[in-house]
Amino acid sequence: MRESWLEQFAETPDVLITPKRERTLVPVRDFVVGGDEFITIAGPCSVETERQLLVTAEHVCRAGARVLRGGAFKPRTSPYSFHGLGLEGLKLLAKAREETGLAVVTEVMSECDVEMVAEYADILQIGSRSMENYSLIEAAARTGRPILLKRGMVATIGDLLRSAQFVLSNGNPHVILCERGIRTFETAMRNTFDAAGIALLKEITHLPVIADPSHASGYRDLVPPLARIGIAAGADGLIVEVHPDPDKAWSDGEQSLNFAEFDAMMDDLAPWIALREPSWGRRHAAEARALEAVECL
């Protein structure tokens, strides 16, 4: 790794790649995140009804997703918006897991809810707006559940790594980093997708990195191309919003794919996923080539 990055990120030593720790495999039910398998996480922004969740879960499962997403506690910018079904939503997620075998990821917004959410979810999501809520992060880390840590919308890579370090420092090595777009001067999209951030994270940290093309773009038309870019940048997986009828979704409908769009995207991504070479593999290949070149001299 570049000396300058080692210096820049010296505050978060445990998240950095070392010769002894090149990648972290995050175990979730019967698979790992951060290994050879590309992991797709899909589902609605919010858990709305039993039927909405179950048909979505069944569909994304058939299309190759490994994890069902769905918010039971929603961080909304208006006090008058839908804020999630709470415990009822968690129970529906657990039911969907039972019926499909998918793992479940859902956001925890408050320290008070950590134990309850951990009882139902396989992975705890720390949302963009909570990335700097260190007491929440510590409480979530101590449950021992894997943590899906979303980059704050105004957070630098260093800020994201500092929050990840909080998880590791609390005895939980299982962090999945998520690039979900950041605020810039651009207003044509909801956020600006930082593909370079994904590439950089894969160079400097041993933690798995996933891309969220839904929140990054805000528009469903842009989700498939951003997903491709995420894969090409080295992401270990995707988290995508899918809804049976996006125009009627209770939150984030404009960026949600319907089932046909999700299927088309998964088909479109297959060759990109097949081409993917995780960065640790690339590094080993480069080292082997360099050694061969020296031996030939």
Stretch that binds ligand PEP, among 123-131, 220-228, 263-271, 282-290 (CB under 6 A): 123-131
The residue at minimum Cβ distance from ligand PEP is 127
Stretch that binds ligand PEP, among 3-11, 127-135, 200-208, 283-291 (CB under 6 A): 127-135
Q: How far is the CB of 82 from ligand PEP (least distance, A)?
A: 12
Q: Which two tokens stand for residue 199?
A: 């590439």
The verdict on 150 binding ligand PEP (CB under 6 A) reads yes
The verdict on 45 binding ligand PEP (CB under 6 A) reads yes
Read off φ and ψ for residue 64, nearest 5 degrees.
110, 5
Stretch that binds Mn ion, among 22-30, 35-43, 45-53, 242-250 (CB under 5 A): 45-53
Q: How far is the CB of 100 from ligand PEP (least distance, A)?
A: 20
Binder among 34, 43, 89, 127 for ligand PEP (CB under 6 A): 127
Identity of the residue, 213 or 278, whose beta carbon is nearer to ligand PEP in the bound complex: 213
Residues 275, 267: Cα–Cα separation, whole Å: 14
Q: How far is the CB of 135 from ligand PEP (least distance, A)?
A: 18
What is the DSSP annotation of the chain? --HHHHHHTTT-GGGB-BTTB----EEETTEEESSSS-EEEEE-SB---HHHHHHHHHHHHHTT-SEEE-BSS---SSTTS----THHHHHHHHHHHHHH--EEEEE---GGGHHHHHHH-SEEEE-GGGTT-HHHHHHHHHT---EEEEPPTT--HHHHHHHHHHHHHTT---EEEEE--B--S--SSSSB--HHHHHHHHHHBSS-EEE-HHHHHSSGGGHHHHHHHHHHHT-SEEEEEB-SSGGG-SS-GGG-B-HHHHHHHHHHHHHHHHH---HHHHHHHHHHHHHHHHHH-
Binder among 24, 56, 106, 128 for ligand PEP (CB under 6 A): 128
Binder among 41, 45, 207, 209 for Mn ion (CB under 5 A): 45
Site size toward Mn ion (CB under 5 A) is 2
Contact letters (x/-) for ligand PEP, 70-109, by CB under 6 A? -x---x----------------------------------
Residue 150 touches which member of Mn ion, ligand PEP, none, C-beta under 5-8 Å by kind: ligand PEP
The residue at minimum Cβ distance from Mn ion is 45
Identity of the residue, 105 or 161, whose beta carbon is nearer to ligand PEP in the bound complex: 105
Residue 223: name the closest of 242, 210, 248 by CA: 242
Identity of the residue, 207 or 240, whose beta carbon is nearer to Mn ion in the bound complex: 240
The verdict on 43 binding ligand PEP (CB under 6 A) reads no
Q: How far is the CB of 104 from Mn ion (least distance, A)?
A: 16
All residues at 6 or more sequence positions from 220 whose CB lies less than 8 Å from its CB, including other chains: 214, 246, 254, 255, 256, 257, 261
Residues in touch with ligand PEP (CB under 6 A): 45, 71, 75, 127-129, 150, 180, 215
Residues in touch with Mn ion (CB under 5 A): 45, 252
